[in-house]
Chains A and B, each alone.
Chain A
Amino acid sequence: MQGLAFTVVAPYWDLLLIGAWWTAVLTVSAGALSFVGGILFAVIVLYAPNIVAYPVRACMWVFMGTPLLLQLFLIYFGLVQIGIDIPALAAGIVGLGLHFAVYNADIIRAGIVAVDVGQTEGARSIGFGKWQTLRHVVIPQAIRNTAPPIGGNLIALLKESSIVSVIGIAELVHSAQLAISETFRPFEFYITAAALYYILNLVLEAALRLFERHVEASR
């Protein structure tokens, strides 16, 4: 039996920080994509003509009904076969982003439906068109009202981003594994990586709270 010695982590600290940096980059990019994509999907499902809405809904079901791991494999390894060669980082961002966009879309759709019809009438009465009403009145309120669950999804996304290590993106888990392969000290490195994830999530939660407090001001 080996004793535990966290001093083994020190030489690899830079490697782990770089990993944490890429985890942050993945979270922010995929998070932004999942947010914008969520709004887009929600609007399409609610308002687009069936010929557009049905295929989009079918895609959403596929994304919701299949494992993220498989989706990443398909995007990164599968698409090459039909001539679409995406860099690993881009594949990771697209995979994570679309996967969570589908969950966000359901939440935002419910948020849009829950905005009082009177708000739409108020906007229409001062001359807003359909799209202006959505963009300036309905969607902002839907986002505000659904900020907590969307924030929850973002936190889940940060943690799930570890899965993209399987397609070779040098994020935090990937860095930890690299260090482990050289030192054979899984416990210390996994614990350190876990602590770094936790810290990243604390930062993210603080940012989300700030946003929610900003929103609360208008209630």
Chain B
Amino acid sequence: MIGLSNIEKRFGDNLVLKGVTVTIAEGSVTALVGPSGGGKSTLLRCINLLEIPTSGTVRIGDETLEFHPGGRVPARDIQRLRLQTGMVFQNFQLFPHRTAIENVMEGLVTVLKWAPERARERALALLEKVGMAHKADAWPATLSGGQQQRVAIARALAPSPKVLLCDEPTSALDPELAQEVVDVLGKLASEGTTMVMATHDLRLASKIAKEVVFLDAGVVVENGPAAVLFNNPEQQRTKRFIATLKQEAEKEGGGEV
């Protein structure tokens, strides 16, 4: 289980998250939706501590860390919590100087000190899972965006994280390439991978997410099961936002909810 309680994040005078509390059950898929600047990405990055919350508590499985304004958290604790997570980025962020399989092996070899042969075996199995085994020795620059993102998913899964965090995983892709990423994420979801994704992609959110958290201006406006939130939201603010998303999806001819 992942628990975020009372998370506040301040950048200078700018309070980006105003006491957010979210609980994510093991094996569930949660979508963070909401307008740009609403705090989705920041919240996601507070889970793996790429952003250190100003205050609040982050809990992943048995690991709990508390944050206080001005307090310093030891790098070792941050590392321990972070190793429970894997992250997929909007722009993939594969290492361009490493081949696909080396990208997946990197964390196992460098951080977890696995023997290279063992890491290669696991990396290949993961590339197989995301349908990229045939490109194991390709350079990232020679892969399409969708292929790069699938390799990035394999890289994030390599250390067997408790949760996969996806920050706009399909936003840099055209609808066709986005589809292959949605398919892979859907497959992972059906296998019981715990996921939290920040997304604007209605197709992704509606197809995969079971739970939805709607964030605006740094607070949780509404949360609940995806079907309810997408089709019958309670709050006026949520209704407006979902309606816009649906309109956009129709314009693109892509998503249906």
Contacts and interface: CB of A to CB of B under 8 A. Distances in A.
Report, as a range, how many residues of chain A touch the other chain.
Answer: 20 to 34
Contact of A129 (B48, B75, B87, B139): B75
Nearest to A122: B93
A118 B91 contact: yes
Contacts of A217: 139
A129 B50 contact: no
B159 A126 contact: yes
B154 to A, nearest CB: 11
Nearest to A136: B110
Contacts of B155: 126
A132 interface: yes
Most chain B CB inside 10 Å of its own CB: which residue of A121, A126, A141, A217: A126
B17 interface: no
Interface stretch (B78-86, B183-191, B199-207, B248-256): B78-86
B48 A125 contact: yes
B141 interface: yes
A185 interface: no
A133 to B, nearest CB: 10
Given A118-B91, A121-B93, A122-B94, A129 B79 contact: yes
B158 interface: yes
B138 to A, nearest CB: 10
Given A118-B89, A121-B50, A126 B107 contact: yes
Contacts of B37: none
Contacts of B98: 218
A144 B97 CA distance: 9
Contact of A127 (B83, B91, B139): B83
A137 B75 CA distance: 19
Nearest to A115: B96
Contact of A140 (B93, B97, B112, B159): B97
15 contacts: A118-B93, A122-B87, A125-B50, A125-B82, A125-B87, A125-B89, A126-B86, A126-B107, A126-B155, A127-B82, A127-B107, A141-B96, A218-B96, A218-B97, A218-B140
Interface of B: 48, 50, 75, 79, 82-83, 85-87, 89, 91, 93-98, 106-107, 110-112, 139-141, 152, 155-156, 158-159
